[in-house]
Chains A and B, each alone.
Chain A
Amino acid sequence: MTPETLARWQFGITTVYHYFFVPITIALSMLVAILQTIWNRTGNVRYLRLTKFFGKLFLINFAMGVVTGIVQEFQFGMNWSEYSRFVGDIFGAPLALEALLAFFLESVFLGLWIFGWDRLPKKLHLMCIWLAAIGTMLSAIFILAANSWMQNPVGAVFNPATDRAEMASLGAVLTNPVALVTLPHVLFAAYMVAGGFVMGISGWHLSKLRTAQQAGELSARQVEDLGAHRFATKFGAWVLLVASVGIIVTGDIQGKIMTEVQPMKMAAAEALWVSEGGDGSCADFSILTIGSLDGSREVWSAPKVPCLLSFLATGTWDGKVEGINDLRDEFTAGRIQDPDNPLQVNARPRLDALGVNDWVPNIPVTYWTFRLMMGLGFLGMGIAALTLFMLRKGRLPKQSWWWTGLMLAAPLSPLFANSFGWIFTEMGRQPFLVNGVLTTASGVSPGVSAFEMGTTMVLFTLIYGALAVVEVRLLLKYIKLGLPDVVEPEVITDDDAPLSFAY
């Protein structure tokens, strides 16, 4: 394999893995902050138990998110040094701001939260989890600004003398229309996972408690547990459901912006080879299609939804959606994706000089990941609705393999929808690193051998695999242990007294 292929695989593996932990970190920190706030307001120990239970699961997840995140920051320089040199002027700034504004906030205040239960007054301690949760959100703002710039490189110009992109306006980078719509989309996606996580775990406990209840063996503590889990299941379900609605709305806007700034990605998402619509006709939405091996012909297709693609892409039922072949021909002939984007205009002669003539991403990958993302997202939404229905009027779910599977799918289907969404958006940008400006092939580190990239890729995969085993076992262990017994925390003043909270 070439260094380019290996560098891409390494980025794919480490990033998809890292992102297993990100949605929970972003959204569960906030849900835990909300639970702790309810406890502070009501004084009801039920919410303290929920805070500690989900707080512990959050931290098991957070540790992995942190350590796999460091790899991300180093990787740009290690595997993609020419990319880093070319875009550092713009892309480096949000990364540095992320560390300075977000990572410090998360790390320091989470440390205070974990160890501060008996050192800080109640309200101050509550503030710590809120600040940590806000830190994770700030982190999303900066990293998505950086990523969105790769999709739609605004606020920059090309300097032929330094042979790199240079910042014209940080404000434009941070208010990139792609970033503005991607941020809520990604945040809602994170809340779907965390909502599904809380709902799935508590819902599973509920079914077990129901079995004990039916047998008439419910202890006083279990009665308490039942109330807490019932609350948490519904809480999680509502979070998942509301976030799903948010996902649909933001995803819809995203599609329209994508049609404008990355028409090729939209065509690839649909495997639309020839332009449709715009002249009195309209573009249909394909639910499932099987294409020929090279992806250039359609072999079989399920019935299409009339005119839906026109609407999704343009907002009108007869809007024109450009096809892959037409776009390829036009790009080859010199069309700039966004003629108002100075960087894309200025960098075009460079692309021509380098002989770039490939404009099409991998169609089967984009087509299928797009559908998997949406399908799994809708599945998660359906599970939330079903769960709320099953819990109506004090009812409890029956313990069964079916129910356990459903509760397992509640966090996993949105989680994998997140993964497929990212794979779609990054693969749909290919063969460019910076859309219309810098190709992926030319961003790879020239001084690093395929051997070095291959070895580290294998080793990262092995280490990540081993950590995944430990991680999943730990999560399952603490999920099964259920809600902990708690003592109301008090600030300790005696130097010799045992801490109520220590590692």
Chain B
Amino acid sequence: MEFTTLQIVWFCLIAVLWTGYLVLEGFDYGVAMLIPFLGKTEKEKRVIINTIGPVWDGNEVWLLTAGGAMFAAFPAWYATLFSGLYLPLFLVLVGLIVRGVAFEYRSKHPEMSAKRTFDWMASIGSFTVSLIFGVAFANFIIGLPVLALPPATAEAQTTLFKLTPSPYLLELFSPFGILGGIVLVVLFLFHGAIYLTLKTRGIVQDRAKKFAGTIGLAAIVGGAVFLVWQNAIVHPTGAIGWVLLVLAALGLVAGWWFVGRGGRPGLAFIGTSLATLFVAVGIFLTMFPELGFANPEGADKVLNLATAASQDSTLTIMLIAAVIFVPIVLAYTAWTYWVFRRPLSVDNIPDEEHAAVG
């Protein structure tokens, strides 16, 4: 099977968008999961929320863009995956809804009981989304089994595919799948705790730093087991897979070292960001060219990079748009992080919530 350069470029671009989502929203999922645990007093909780307040919504757009790009560049990938993982994606949507309204509603309800409810909504919503995406990506590495449906017309060379068996639900939770879910949750908790260490001062920072030291070990061990399992058994990708594994491990160890004894949370954050990036690259490597699906042996109709792709004119136009606008988005996103660069402590939190325009 031959793939065009455009198809490969778009596959890489989609990997970039997913990586952006995992690296950026990864830490705000981690931070949100930690709200009920690292914030004891109301002001401490508000410190935690305000570290991600200005940025989480922008981070979430990476997911929407990744989804939209899959739709535009590989319609059959988007169609098969989203209809195939129907119930898991429904849970993702519920998780995103629940956490999305929680931040806004929390600040507008003065009653403590309501605030506690919204804290748990943010925490559990973020946990659910992280867990499901972890399980999902582990299953992409394994390869979701697909079958071609009968074509609509006699001339049709390509068709829609569906997962088999359908609905494909319990099959997702193989030991490797479950480990994938746990590892992604742990990785985001670690990434989030490092972000909090970087962006807070005082008691919240102390707690975040301590938690990062513990969860970091879990992330290193869990991540190592997962990646070795992936590369040795589930879906070996040769030497490059092992190189990425080592790089990811180094990133995690650097994160653990710098957030703790090294005393450089900024470098620690770069460490976990790079680790997430290397893991993502390794996963997308296993998804080439079957896009995380497993076609039956010897099938005449297969779902892969070529059969799922839009035609070249769509890919070209979209590529031009991406080349122009992704750097612009990155530039103003970076500016946002610079504007809100100052770490927060409880002293920074005003008593009156009404002061917020939001």
Contact = CB atoms under 8 A, between A and B. Distances in A.
A55 B357 contact: yes
A115 interface: yes
Contact of B347 (A114, A116, A496): A496
A215 interface: no
A307 interface: no
B53 A84 contact: no
B326 A100 contact: yes
A491 to B, nearest CB: 11
A77 B314 contact: no
Given A79-B83, A103-B61, A92 B72 contact: yes
Given A101-B325, A452-B86, A92 B155 contact: no
Nearest to A475: B108
Interface of B is mostly: helix
Nearest to A446: B149
B336 A78 contact: no
Given A98-B68, A496-B348, A502-B350, A167 B311 contact: yes
A497 to B, nearest CB: 7
Nearest to A91: B71
Interface size range on B against A: 35 or more
Nearest to A97: B321
Contacts of B73: 92, 96
Contact of B108 (A71, A79, A114, A478): A478
B289 interface: no
B243 interface: no
Contact of B355 (A93, A101, A470, A501): A501
Interface stretch (B90-98, B213-221, B233-241): B90-98
A470 B98 CA distance: 12
A8 to B, nearest CB: 16
A77 B83 contact: yes
A108 B336 contact: yes
Given A78-B90, A82-B79, A463-B97, A116 B54 contact: yes
Chain A interface bracket (under 10, 10 to 19, 20 to 34, 35 or more): 35 or more
A114 B160 contact: no
A104 B61 contact: yes
A166 interface: yes
Given A93-B72, A116-B54, A82 B160 contact: yes
Contacts of B321: 96-97, 100-101
B15 to A, nearest CB: 15
B357 A74 contact: no
A89 B75 contact: yes
A117 to B, nearest CB: 6
B345 interface: yes
B64 to A, nearest CB: 4
A354 B152 contact: yes
Contacts of B154: 353
Given A56-B357, A78-B90, A79-B83, A104 B78 contact: no
A39 to B, nearest CB: 12
Contacts of B157: 161-163
A452 B89 CA distance: 12
A456 B94 CA distance: 10
A115 B54 contact: yes
B58 interface: yes
B82 A78 contact: yes
B316 to A, nearest CB: 10
B105 A63 contact: yes
Nearest to B92: A74
Nearest to A53: B357
B10 to A, nearest CB: 11
Given A60-B108, A447-B166, A161 B78 contact: no
Contacts of B350: 498-502
Given A93-B314, A447-B166, A474-B105, A85 B160 contact: yes
B222 interface: no
Nearest to B151: A163
B83 A447 contact: yes
A112 B158 CA distance: 46
Nearest to B65: A99
- Of B56, B152, B158, B317, most buried by chain A (CB within 10 Å of CB) is B152
B354 to A, nearest CB: 6
A51 B106 CA distance: 22
A207 B14 CA distance: 55
3 A-B pairs closest in CB distance: A88-B75, A77-B82, A92-B72
Given A85-B79, A85-B80, A456-B86, 18 more contacts: A59-B104, A73-B64, A76-B78, A81-B82, A81-B83, A88-B78, A92-B73, A92-B78, A96-B321, A99-B68, A104-B329, A104-B332, A160-B153, A161-B157, A163-B159, A447-B162, A447-B166, A499-B50
